[in-house]
Every structure is written in C-alpha cells, then in structure tokens.
Structure 1
C-alpha cells in the first residue's frame, strides 16, 4: 500500500477542484491548472478532499498511485499559495537585474546573459546577488530556476556561480606547493 497515495488531498477554501473522468482541474486566486491522470488510477472528489485510488492491483497502477496524488496536491497548493525558488549568485562582479520582460545577468562572460521571462512566472531581484523565481506551476518554476542556474553552475574551488539557496557546495582544496 502506498504511503503517500493513501492520504486524500485536502482542498482549502478559495480553491475549486473539478474531476471529470481522468481530467482534474484546480482553480484558485493565483490561476488555473489542469492535468490528465493515467487510466490506471481513479480520482474522486469526496467531501472537500480529492481521493486517488488505483483501479486494479497491477504494478503500474500501484506505482502511479502516489505520483497521481502528488500531481493533484501540487496543483492545489500551486493555485492557492504558489511556489518560490530562491537562487544566490556568488562571485566578484556577478549580478542580476530584471529589465522589462528579461532577466539580465553579468556572470563573468564578455557579454551580458539575457533570459526572457516566460508567461506565468515572476522573477524578482531584491539584491543584485539574489534571484527569486515564483509562480503557480511547480514544474515550470523548477524548470526556469534550473535553466537560470545552468548559465553558470557553482564551481567547487571558490564557489563562484549561481546556486540554489538551500544548496551546499562541496568545496575542494586547491593546489599545494
């Protein structure tokens, strides 16, 4: 029995969840998300909670049970609270700023790196060395943060680059004489 899948997804006030066959739609104050669950799982709306159950006892149904429940939970949390990923920039002269619909970063290259901000995502730079990516779609927020980090990954000797706020860099010792 799935440890995650057996828990129903609570629907908070202000969020409207509709289940029509395999399509699950969540609407909240931040936006609207929908997903199509695979045929091996069944989603039902019961007294303010979304219950996901496997249709049969096949291995695929049992493995996708918790995955489907987590997708529904991420949608409900996304449209009610939203998601935020914070990035830090380390390095002399490394900085970022939002200019219009673009994130402009100076990362030690001969040119500025410009990243167009996609729809549904907001990027803020409170400090020149801090980037905050937020939105209501968890997958999209994580993808945008990973793409920004990809421009200059943190290196292990001085720790220069773009890293997640919660990430720890394993530092290496430099050359010895």
Structure 2
C-alpha cells in the first residue's frame, strides 16, 4: 500500500525544467534551481507534465519516506516557479525596522539596534517600517529566517507587542485589574 500523499502526482508548471537521473532530482525555474536526493526504495519519473513517485517495496518506512519525498519535490517545484514568502508585523510603540544594505536594522525597545543579514537565497522586503516580508525559493529557509526574526522580540500576551506573523493571532491575557 502506497502513501496517500505520495501517490498524488506533482504538476510541472510552464517554465520549469525537471531532470531525474537515478535517485538524483533537480529542478530549474524562473526563481532559481534546487536539487534533492530521492531516498532509496522510491523511484521518480516524468509523465504527462507531472512527476510521479512510486515506492519499490511496501515497507512501512518506505511508505513514510514516499509521502515526505513527494512533499519535498512539490515544494521545490513551487519554489523555483513562484517562490515562498512570510510576512511579519512589528507591533509596539517605537518598534520599527529599516533597510541597511541587504539586511534590516531593528529597533525593538532594547538599548541597542539589532541588524539581521539575509541568509543565502533569502531576501528581505520592507513595505513600511512595521512590516517585513521574507522571500525565497526554499520553503524551509524562508520559514527559518522568519522564525529567527520573530525570535528577536516574540509577541507578549498582555499588549501584543513584538514581532508576529501577519496571520498569527496572539491570545491576550487580562492584566492585574482583570479579574
């Protein structure tokens, strides 16, 4: 029995080139290129503008890796075609960000400013002083860069001050007066 996720084909959009040589998988598109080593026991092939991954045997670990491999391949295809982004909001009086070279300089209520340089393959965008957009073609790297920025001043539960994801909801607590 194959993985439910793993047996779904991955559609290849226009402008994306896929190369499969044995267990080596590489993809190239308008946003860059990426490669992945498909685990042993899983084969990949291109059929009708889509990528199909099939397990060689029906071992439990192969089924688990089958779904994971399919998800990673799908993320790579989407990343080189349209890319990934995470939006962070900076909430708080005096909290702001400004562009400094390729990096960002944050004023977050500390006695000093904090400068964050983007990792390789990641870029930062500042639509305004209270919003940061992290962009890139690697889903994991975009998420990690956004998490590292959020960690600089995580939102606190009383006033909601700090750096939060734009779609994140901060559960508020009542202060001393709230009974």
Same topology, TM > 0.5: yes
1:91 Cα offset (Å): 0.6
- Cα distance in 2 for partners of 1:154, 1:23 equals 42
2:42 aligned with 1:15: no
Give the paired residue count: 177
Give, in whole Å, the separation in 1 of the partners of 2:18 and 2:160.
44
Separation in 2 of the partners of 1:40 and 1:168?
42
Give the Cα–Cα distance (whole angstroms) in 1 for the partners of residues 120 and 63 of structure 2.
35
Gaps of 5+ in 2: none
CA RMSD, 1 decimal: 1.1
What does residue 138 of structure 1 align with? 139
What is the deviation of 1:58?
0.6
Pair 1:31-2:32 in alignment:
yes
Deviation at 1:49, TM superposition (A): 1.0
Gaps (5+ residues) in structure 1? none
Superposed, 1:45-64 pairs within 5 Å as 45-64=46-65
Offset from partner CA, 1:74-124 (integer Å, 9 cap, x none): 010000100110000101100011111221000010000111112211101
Which residues of 2 match residues 25-174 of structure 1 at below 5 A?
25-174=26-175
1:7-58 deviations in Å (ceiling 9; x for gaps): 1001011000011111110000110000112113211112221101111111
What is the rounded CA distance, in whole Å, between the counterparts of 1:19 and 1:166 in structure 2?
Answer: 37
| Counterparts of 2:142 and 2:99, CA distance in 1 | 17
- Partners in 1 of 2:121 and 2:99 — Cα distance? 16
